[in-house]
Structure formats: structure tokens, C-alpha cells
Amino acid sequence: MYTKRYSEECKRDAVELVRLSSRTVTEAAGELGVRSEYLRRRMKKASAAQDTGSGPGAVRTVDDRDEELKRLRKLTAEQACVSPGAGAAQRCCGRFCSGRRR
């Protein structure tokens, strides 16, 4: 059986998509082409890392928050360019992995 591996950037961006939008975990998972339980698990891990102040989801300073906000705004703009009819793999990598379509 084939197991998909996602980059840390892709995982982090998927979590931020849920946090910063009005989408439910199930809706976001469907858009990204991943199982909702996978995304819920990623949300829990990111939340735990942020609570302890470590890991990729932790925000330590105001400057870090500003940089993260700038990155997420750019990501949101890039997401608007992806056509809704694209395949699930293309949507995830096209939206969340450095803005490149693969």
C-alpha cells in the first residue's frame, strides 16, 4: 500500500488554512484531498506544539507573527489562482508547496 508523505511546509499550511478560514476540518480536508482524521491529527499536533512554545506551529515573537502573517497572505493570494477542477494532488502541491504546480 502506498503512503503519501507531505512536507512540513505542506502540513503547516494545511493547518493554517483551517485556522484562518471559516472552513471546517472536513471541508478543508476534502479540498486538499486528504482524510479529515489526518488533518484533525495535524491540528492537534500543531496546537500541542504551540502550547509548549516549540515546533513548527509555535509563534515566539511579534516579528515572527508578522512574517507568518505576510507568508499566509501571499499563500491566500496564490490559492485564488488554482482552478477548482484541478486534481487533489495538484491542488495540494500547487497551493501549499512554494506556490509551484507539479
Cα–Cα–Cα angle for 64, 69, 71, rounded to 5 degrees: 95
**pLDDT confidence band for 99 (50 / 70 / 90):** very low
Tally of CB atoms within 10 A around 18: 21
Task: Pick the closest to residue 30 from 14, 16, 41, 6 (CA basis).
Answer: 14
pTM of the model: 0.48
For 48-81, what is each residue's pLDDT tens digit? 887 666 555 555 667 777 888 888 888 887 777 6
Mean pLDDT of 85-94: 51
Please give the span between the terminal C-alpha atoms of the chain, in angstroms, as a whole number.
Answer: 23
DSSP H or E segment with residue 98 = none
